[in-house]
Amino acid sequence: MYFILKYENYYYMIVKMREIRRDKMRHLMSPLDFSVEELDKLLDLANDIEKHPDKYAHACDGKKLATCFYEPSTRTRLSFEAAMLNLGGSVLGFASADSSSAAKGESISDTIRVISCYADICAMRHPKEGAALVASQKSRIPVINAGDGGHQHPTQTLTDMLTIRSLKGRLGNMTIGLCGDLKFGRTVHSLINALIRYPNVEFVLISPKELRVPEYIREDVLVANNIPFTEVERLEDAIPDLDILYMTRVQKERFFNEEDYIRMKDFYILDKEKMALAKDDMLVLHPLPRVNEISVEVDDDPRAVYFKQVQYGVYVRMALILTLLGIEVQ
């Protein structure tokens, strides 16, 4: 009887500790989940990781990252895995819905409850908007939204912000051109939401009419916050005034009609001729993968930083993992 009481008390203590931990636990669903001050601190940490990688090589010894990817990914999934391995942790997970119990009909809520028993933190990508949020509401571990449909991609935004700040020295006082698929481009939506909080940022939205930025971004984010922006169709008309050109691909997987995709996919192609119109210090970013929208002849231009951007993505995901796990390295 005494043993049972002690066991029950111990179990009660564990449950209460988990409840306390859950109250303090943080997830990342959107860049807006962090304040500007918290974002600056995160980016500072990422820069320190870049300069002193050995200092962080064992920060996550014994910790496990679960990568739950319900749709294909190269950079995001491998970047998360590299980040955790660089920190001394380990990785488990799946790379497609077909290789998980989702193929048998298991819900997101049940999956994350199971994953919470195996791992310390989870990165989730899903084709449905809001899937990661649903998971976070049932999870006992921090959940990172690694992309949910055409909605948000916050860790790509952190990557973009680190790239811009590291190479430009600032996140405010600039004109940013967003070019391509602005309707379904979750990286674009996340980046706009994050950068409107910095001073004197102006956006130039470059897209065909069919792929214009969604109304909720235009009205509820840009207009509602008095953020200056213009919408144009011709890249040549916009590029001379830009400090940052953020290219995106037209996403075949977001189209229901293949004819529409074929008609749109080569609408914009950045080449040497267009780059000649740009400022000498303009930077070209791209979340990748690239299809045809940036000619390979641009790759050797020093203003093309999309492969550097990939490396910054590892540093910022390392910083994010440490932050969400509450690990501080002295």
Residues annotated as catalytic are 75-76, 104, 125, 153
Q: Is residue 325 helix, strand or coil? A: helix
> Cα 10 to chain center, whole Å?
40
Instruction: Check: CB of residue 156 under 8 Å from CB of residue 314.
Output: no
Say how far apart CA 190 and CA 30 lie, in whole Å.
7
List of residues 6+ apart from 176 with CB closer than 8 A: 191, 195, 201, 202, 203, 204, 242, 243, 244, 246
Give the DSSP letter of residue 247: E
Instruction: Check: CB of residue 174 under 8 Å from CB of residue 244.
Output: yes
Instruction: Check: CB of residue 39 under 8 Å from CB of residue 194.
Output: yes
Q: Is residue 104 helix, strand or coil? A: helix
Q: Is residue 251 helix, strand or coil? A: coil
Outline where the chain has alpha helix (H): 2-24, 36-51, 75-86, 108-115, 131-138, 154-168, 186-195, 215, 235-238, 258-264, 272-275, 306-325
Q: Is the peptide bond before 142 cis (omega within 30 degrees of 0)?
A: no
Angle at 131 between CA 319 and CA 63, to 5 degrees: 35
